[in-house]
Structure 1
């Protein structure tokens, strides 16, 4: 059964690209009833913004890809989590299966994570490799590959009927035709100028029909001035700290088990 629209929101912790420190690393949290439900990525500036918003560190995260502006907060999150007996081993991290080796190499492979020894990086977390869908808190979310650097190294996330987060990507009209076909808000990578790894505004306007563009919320741009220029072209632009209303998810929900 769907929950009322006002119960679901998306909080943007950061909306900038890797160089736009003042805008924060691109990171967001899906909220239910004003409380964090699932966080997307864990950049350093984004983690700081998360902690300022909620007074604690994330308890459930989805990782889109392994670039450091999206996973650079994990070392600090490890410290916050491992040394808290109530959190250790309980913070769930959903990682698309092809990314697991890359995420491990980026954030977990440093030898002897504690100088005293006796701890592995993943002891702090509950790592859950995921395929094309996974269950979180009894709700099914969908995962799809996007176009960022190399195949199968970056992924988007869909909460059906509510929101789609593209992660870093070039335009993906074929994916959005399938994974954004239920009137979802589409949080989309877009800067003023495109490049081989990221969408530029002219790419966005060329590749997507008006019905898709009207649902796009743009993030991962280079500066405040670039954000204003995107808005001046008639696009909806995400701002750091903004809380965006979401429609109630229509995603499948787990049924009680009577075994």
Structure 2
């Protein structure tokens, strides 16, 4: 079984040319679980796969990570084969925030008769959840306010931090099996996001060597980070991952 990570977008909210930060975990070349649903990221997903995602994990509710939801609602609600079957794994503390951002509108359809969440199967999750027989782990990160942003781990394969400041004590726990670490990083940090000097100050060299940097501010910023010796993610890139050592069970088909 081969695991890969396809990067649909790697930019921050202003770096439209890089696409909104969004990725899909692929298993044997097929989309398996998508991380976030930004506007540009969803466009890239549709352009590549030719169909909308069937399962998503949401890291947080800033619009560059969830702005594609209205389109996803339309594509899912009006397709009898998808309506109510698109799985949304949402950290439980984000559920009210996600509803306020995208679901709390008087009529998602002008003619009435529909609720926004009718199109989806919303699954609130805690520290871990099961998808397609595989156990994934969820962890809090440092972005704006406590308990409003979360990362994802596929044990042994990849850790996706989502938007965050440095989290050395968290990564010591959730990235201790040699995983690739897809990490928020721009050239310069701010109170909500990591800069490269923040990572250099907070992380040991071994952790930095496993980092794949995304959520940077421009093509030029990315090239500067690469010139400093760091691995950067690029839009459309497919990253080979190590075999997962996550717990797995056989799922009846």
Q: Which residue of 2 aligns with 1:21?
A: 16
- What are the residue-to-residue correspondences of 1:165-176 with 2, within 5 Å? 165-176=160-171
- Per the TM alignment, residue 42 of structure 1 is displaced from its structure 2 partner at its CA by 0.1
- The answer on 1:215 being equivalent to 2:210 is yes
Q: Which residue of 2 aligns with 1:66?
A: 61
Q: Which residue of 2 aligns with 1:120?
A: 115
Q: How many angstroms apart in 2 are the aligned matches of 1:241 and 1:108?
A: 29
Mark the CA change 1:256 to 1:223 in structure 2 (over 3 Å): closer, same or farther: closer
Q: Which residue of 1 aligns with 2:249?
A: 254
Q: Which residue of 1 aligns with 2:231?
A: 236
Give the length in aligned residue pairs.
Answer: 252
SS in 2 for 1:250: coil
SS in 2 for 1:142: strand
Mark the CA change 1:256 to 1:35 in structure 2 (over 3 Å): closer, same or farther: closer
Query: Paired residue for 1:39, among 25, 34, 38?
Result: 34
Q: Which residue of 2 aligns with 1:92?
A: 87
- RMSD of the TM alignment (CA)? 0.9
* Deviations 1:158-212 (CA, angstroms, capped at 9, x unpaired): 0000000000000000000000000000000000000000000000111000110
Tell me, which stretches of 5 or more residues in structure 2 are unaligned?
none
Q: How many angstroms apart in 2 are the aligned matches of 1:256 and 1:203?
A: 42
Q: Which residue of 1 aligns with 2:50?
A: 55
* Deviations 1:21-65 (CA, angstroms, capped at 9, x unpaired): 000000000001111000000000000000011000000000000
Query: Paired residue for 1:191, among 179, 186, 189?
Result: 186
Q: Which residue of 2 aligns with 1:83?
A: 78
Tell me, which stretches of 5 or more residues in structure 1 are unaligned?
none
Mark the CA change 1:31 to 1:255 in structure 2 (over 3 Å): closer, same or farther: closer
Q: Is the 8 A contact 2:187 2:195 kept in 1?
A: yes
TM-score of the two chains, using structure 1 as the length reference: 0.96
